[in-house]
Chain A
Amino acid sequence: AQSVTQLGSHVSVSEGALVLLRCNYSSSVPPYLFWYVQYPNQGLQLLLKYTSAATLVKGINGFEAEFKKSETSFHLTKPSAHMSDAAEYFCAVSKDTGFQKLVFGTGTRLLVSP
């Protein structure tokens, strides 16, 4: 069975500071990993995805994530936070490409202060 653990239900940063959102996965097969962002009262938007190509994945809005098999991690980072980054972030794992049944973490709410 696959699972995802997101450490920290809330993360607070100052505008301009580094953003680091943690995600660890468990999977018995090579995983496909995703980060989604959810703005208030909105649906989920894909930020980036790992599909076994490059281990460092760049996404939209300046976010990137690095797949580390030895640490079973897929942490999301952004060098400089912007107020508009305040949202809920979800890490998810899937086991194959043909049938997408995502397993989501519980989410991390990012708070950005001026």
Chain B
Amino acid sequence: NAGVMQNPRHLVRRRGQEARLRCSPMKGHSHVYWYRQLPEEGLKFMVYLQKENIIDESGMPKERFSAEFPKEGPSILRIQQVVRGDSAAYFCASSPPPGLTEAFFGQGTRLTVV
């Protein structure tokens, strides 16, 4: 049973480009969470998704950031017109349906904006 898979592991983008980060949850998990870890900081919640639904996006920046979790395929975190401040590690976690407390994290995507 593969864990949460994120790709790419490392992503370099120039300012103004778009970044697409992918997350494939563990088998049987229908809930996905995205977190961002800025240098020397803890993880900050961004968005919580179920299949085809955004449940809570209270941690998402108002502009340039979007997330989706389609019926088929991985969850995508999209950052448009990246800026240097977007450089961070982006972690995805997944969990089973409600009632359980544990989420399993992927290895993260490290985005560097140059």
Q: Which residues of A contact B (CB under 8 A)?
A: 32, 36, 41-46, 49, 51, 90, 92, 94, 97-107
Contact = CB atoms under 8 A, between A and B. Distances in A.
B42 interface: yes
A106 B42 contact: yes
B106 A43 contact: yes
Interface residues of B, number: 28
Question: Nearest 10 pairs between A and B by C-beta?
Answer: A98-B98, A104-B42, A43-B107, A44-B105, A43-B105, A106-B42, A104-B43, A97-B101, A100-B103, A43-B106
Chain A, interface SS category: loop
A45 B105 contact: yes
Given A104-B42, A105-B42, A99 B98 contact: yes
A93 to B, nearest CB: 11
B46 to A, nearest CB: 10
A45 B99 CA distance: 20
Contacts of A46: 102, 104
A102 B103 contact: yes
B14 interface: no
A47 to B, nearest CB: 12
Contacts of A41: 107
